[in-house]
Amino acid sequence: MSETKEAFLDRLLAQIHKEKYFEEGEYIHFQHDDLLRLANLSINILNNDPILLNLSSPLYVFGDIHGYYRGLISFLDYCGYPPKSNLLFLGDYVDRGPNSVDTIVTLLALKCRYPHNVFLIRGNHETRELTAVYGFQEECKERYSLQVWDAICESFRYIPIAAIVGGTIFCVHGGITSEFQRLSQITQIERPLDPSDGGLVQNLLWADPSPDITGFVKSSRGTSYKFGVDIAESFVNNFGFDLICRAHQSVDKGFEFPFSPSTCLVTLFSADGYSKNPPNQAAIMYINEEMVCSFKFLESSN
């Protein structure tokens, strides 16, 4: 008898829980065919979510992880695993860190097994183009195969683009852009999606806040724009939001209000040990039932 979807996911998650506390330089030894099956299964699960998620609290929100798996596991141990806790991840799951495969496989397995408790939105690194340069492709090739890389990258094309929590917190990987005037501009986007055309989606994934400017200025990244506090405050006021919660940048303390004293936007960064000298903190944000936000920290293992 063939293994059911639920039995497959339970077996995969049992392996993850058994092997997740590996030493530095190690990784979980997944079966090659399990990774292909998970990637294919993920496409339908991710595509079943709306491209603009509407979520309720309580909820834990994660910034960039970038393959720093041990920090992710420490946070999950703290939060509690689904279905006990609801989790939202803001993208950049892979590249740069040492355990991108373990990270994305864990998140996809949790998403597929608990689709109403775990939510993913897309980061700028969830593309074939960037993962071919910044480490994920090479890690897949060394440990498994390019077929695994290609299958997981295909699932990236179905990840939602943004989320609204409790009607008042707008969550996105990068930032906002001048052409974004109506939420329907996101809801009308069709998947599968390749955000490399310089349009709305690419800017939502790449834009950065800057306290030193007003309006929009071309980004030094070579892609998208920087935007000032005037843009951010106008955005939350026009849409009736209280906060923009985004990721996309390393911040030393794990979270930062770059427009302080304005609290209209917060940057989250959840990759423990990403910076080495000095080592960064990692943080996640908890939104409670009353929509009050607080932050939980990891001191870097480095």
What pLDDT, in 10s, does the model give residues 244-266?
999 999 999 999 999 999 999 99
pLDDT of 298 > 90? The answer is: no
- What is the tally of structural domains in the chain? 1
Q: Is residue 147 part of a domain?
A: yes
Determine the distance from the C-alpha atom of residue 121 to the mean position of all C-alpha atoms in its chain, rounded to a whole number.
5
Asked if residue 300 belongs to a domain, the reply is no
- Give pTM, 2 decimals: 0.96
Under 8 Å between Cβ of 153 and 43: no
Q: What is the pLDDT of residues 205-217, one digit of tens each?
A: 999 999 999 998 9
Domain membership of residue 107 as a residue range: 7-20+33-52+66-241
- What are 106-122's pLDDT values in tens digits? 999 999 999 999 999 99
Enter the tokens of residue 110.
């949790």
Give the DSSP H/E element, type plus range, for residue 295.
Answer: strand 293-298
Relative to beta strand 265-268, strand 225-227 is unpaired
Say which CATH number the domain at 152 has: 3.60.21.10
Determine the Cα–Cα distance for residues 13 and 280; give it in Å rounded to an integer. Answer: 29
State yes or no: is 66 an active-site residue: no
Residue 124 to residue 102: CA distance in whole angstroms: 19
The answer to whether residue 141 is domain-embedded is yes
What integer pLDDT is reported at residue 302 of this predicted model? 45
Tokens at 230, concatenated: 């005037």
Q: Is the pLDDT of residue 278 over 50?
A: yes
Q: With left for phi above 0 and alpha for psi between -120 and 50, is residue 196 left, alpha or beta?
A: alpha
The span from the CA of 76 to the CA of 114, in Å, is 14
What are the φ and ψ backbone dihedral angles of 294, each rounded to 5 degrees? -140, 170
Q: Is residue 302 part of a domain?
A: no
Residues 156 and 122 sit within 8 Å (Cβ to Cβ): yes
Active site residue: 66, 125, 173, 248, which one?
Answer: 125
pLDDT in tens, 71-90: 999 999 999 999 999 999 99
Asked, for residue 126, whether it belongs to a domain, the answer is yes
**42 found inside a domain:** yes
Counting residues of the chain whose pLDDT is more than 90, the rounded percentage is 88
255-256 and 265-268 as β-strands: parallel, antiparallel, unpaired? antiparallel
Determine, yes or no, domain membership for 251. Answer: no
Q: Is residue 145 part of a domain?
A: yes
